[in-house]
Amino acid sequence: MKSLVLLSIVCVLFVACNNQSKTSSDASGLPIPPKDFVANAINGKALYQQHCQLCHGKEAKGSRQGPPLIHKIYEPNHHADLSFYMAVNRGVQSHHWKFGNMPAIPGVNPKQAAHIIRYIRQEQKAAGIF
Ligand code: HEC
């Protein structure tokens, strides 16, 4: 019986620690769209302009308030799609740049985020970043 209690505690701790990890998947409770969801770059561009452009600039090339997303450090191997869902859902503590923190963007749901990611990946690809 004692070992069962101990095992439960270990499990809870394991889950709790995993939640903190930046690379944890949707298992951490991060809302992402269903696997079969088809994102669309045209929707993504409009949503980007509405919700992200203020800081990430026209065509995601950066502004005085935020970094460019069409940039080598945001290509899929460095910042997988999950880090975009994470940024939108939870905000970002400043770590790469000196613009300050990014707030969470509660007006953008996971499907809308998927459209935006599709658009950003399309532009990164067009710019020869990956
Ligand atoms: C109020 C300004 C602001 C808005 C609006 C904003 N961002 Fe950001 N974002 C930032 C800043 C500043 C950073 C850089 C933080 C740092 O220093 O690493 C950032 C970083 C990011 C990152 C990198 C995350 C990481 O793990 O390093 C992603 C992805 C991102 N933003 C996506 C978006 C998307 C998508 C939107 C629109 C839905 C958006 N941002 C809207 C300011 C903003």
The pLDDT of residue 17 is: 45
Task: Tell me if 85 CB under 6 Å of ligand 1.
Answer: no
Q: Where in the sequence is the domain holding 55, given as residue range(s)?
A: 47-130
Among 113, 33, 23, which residue's Cα sits nearest to residue 77?
Answer: 23
Distance 89 CA to ligand 1 centre (A): 11
Could you tell me if residue 53 is inside a domain? yes
Could you tell me if residue 112 is inside a domain? yes
Name the residue of 21, 23, 56, 83 whose CB sits within 8 Å of the most ligand 1 atoms, as the mutation to test its pocket. 56
Length of the chain counted residue by residue: 130
Could you tell me if residue 8 is inside a domain? no
Tell me: the pLDDT tens digits for 4-49? 565 555 545 455 544 443 333 466 799 999 999 999 999 999 999 9
Nearest CA to ligand 1 atom 19: 102
CATH number of the domain bearing residue 119: 1.10.760
Tell me: the pLDDT tens digits for 77-111? 999 999 999 999 999 999 999 999 999 999 999 99
- Count structural domains, the chain: 1
Task: Tell me if 94 CB under 6 Å of ligand 1.
Answer: yes
| Confidence band for 65, pLDDT divided at 50, 70 and 90 | very high
Residue 51 contacts by C-beta under 8 Å, 6 or more apart in sequence? 105, 107, 108, 112, 116
The pLDDT of residue 28 is: 78
Could you tell me if residue 70 is inside a domain? yes
Could you tell me if residue 15 is inside a domain? no
| Confidence band for 59, pLDDT divided at 50, 70 and 90 | very high
d(CA 122, CA 44): 10
